Amino acid sequence: MDGVTRGMSALAELVERGDVAVLSGAGISTESGIPDYRGPTGRARSAEPMTYQKFVGSAEARRRYWARSHVGWRQIGLARPNAGHRAVAELERRGLLAGIVTQNVDGLHQAAGARRVIELHGGLDRVMCLSCRERTPRAELERRLRAANLGWEASGLINPDGDAVLTDEQVAGFRVVDCTGCGGLLKPDVVFFGENVPRHRVEECFDVVVGARALLVLGSSLMIKSGLRFVSRAAALGLPIAIVNQGPTGGDADAVLTVDAPLGPTLTDLTARLGAG
């Protein structure tokens, strides 16, 4: 029996006991065509994410962001759940999960049928007005942006947070639209760098971990505190931690089991080992 086979057997044994909290990252969505920052699809890429401070403080920064995001949404909006997302939804359907915390903003867990999903960093499918706080569908904003930018076309490398790498020349001339209700600034309903995740949302995520019997990390490098804090809490509680990811992670030292393999095939194999629910 090779190492991967032993790892899968141990993973199935851990999950079949149920009450498992799932923490997912960008790696679970790469098979849907959405690149990650630190895994195999992201190693040769550079990205300079928008900060909240730049976004609210500069009209030019907002123009650049929305131009890039308008292009990126074509790929993010068309992405469909892959085998990994479907496997997680199936595990939830079988009653084996305590909850799903995702660091992703692509909505693919929900599109696959998962119900109890906490989006730690929000979702790109919604837009929020920074003045009146009204939330509206991203599709509605995209229709308005297309109407305001007839004839404008650009393309570029897509980042996992939904924007595209564009030149200054490509961004020039792009028109931004504001809230139809109050005229305020519109922002995607996601947490930017330099912005705090709402405290109630963080506590909700911790509650999922604390109330679980085990933690399963899927496709996250755990290189930043945002996700690693939940692994640290699970380790402090003595919960068994399993990690499925391509490449090493910041939580490997706390894990009782690590499986270095593609997420889709691995999670499909896992559900098959657990039998028909």
Read off the pLDDT of residues 80-136 as tens digits, 9 standing for 90 and up: 999 999 999 999 999 999 999 999 999 999 999 999 999 999 999 999 999 999 999
Provide the residue ranges of all domains of the chain, joining segments of one domain with +.
Answer: 1-34+81-121+196-277, 45-78+124-190
The pLDDT value given to residue 7: 86
Residue 33 marked as a ligand binder: yes
Q: Which whole-number Å values give the CA distances from 232 to 164, 226, 228, 237, in the listed order?
A: 33, 11, 6, 9
Exposure string of 118-135, with b = 16+ CB inside 10 Å and e = fewer, is bbbbbbbbbbbbeeeeee
The CATH class given to the 1-34+81-121+196-277 domain equals alpha beta
Question: Is 237 annotated for ligand binding?
Answer: no
Across the range 202-219, mean pLDDT stands at 98
pLDDT for residue 46 = 47
Question: Is residue 85 within 8 Å of residue 54, measured between CB atoms?
Answer: no
Given 85, 109, 121, 200, which residue is catalytic? 121
Q: Where is 20: in which H helix or E strand?
A: strand 20-24
- How does residue 50 score in pLDDT terms, banded at 50, 70 and 90? confident
Tell me if 143 is assigned to a ligand binding site: no
Q: Per-residue pLDDT tens for 160-194? A: 666 778 888 889 889 999 999 999 999 999 999 88
Per-residue pLDDT reduced to its tens digit, 121-160: 999 999 999 999 999 999 999 999 999 999 888 776 777 6
Residue 75, marked binder: no
Between strands 241-244 and 257-259, the pairing is parallel
- Is 240 annotated to bind a ligand? Reply is no
121: annotated active-site residue: yes
The verdict on pTM exceeding 0.75 is: yes
Helix (H) or strand (E) holding 101: strand 97-102
CATH 3.10.620 fits 45-78+124-190, yes or no: no
The answer for residues whose C-beta is within 8 angstroms of residue 76's C-beta and 6 or more apart is: 34, 106, 124, 158, 162
88 annotated as a binding-site residue:
no
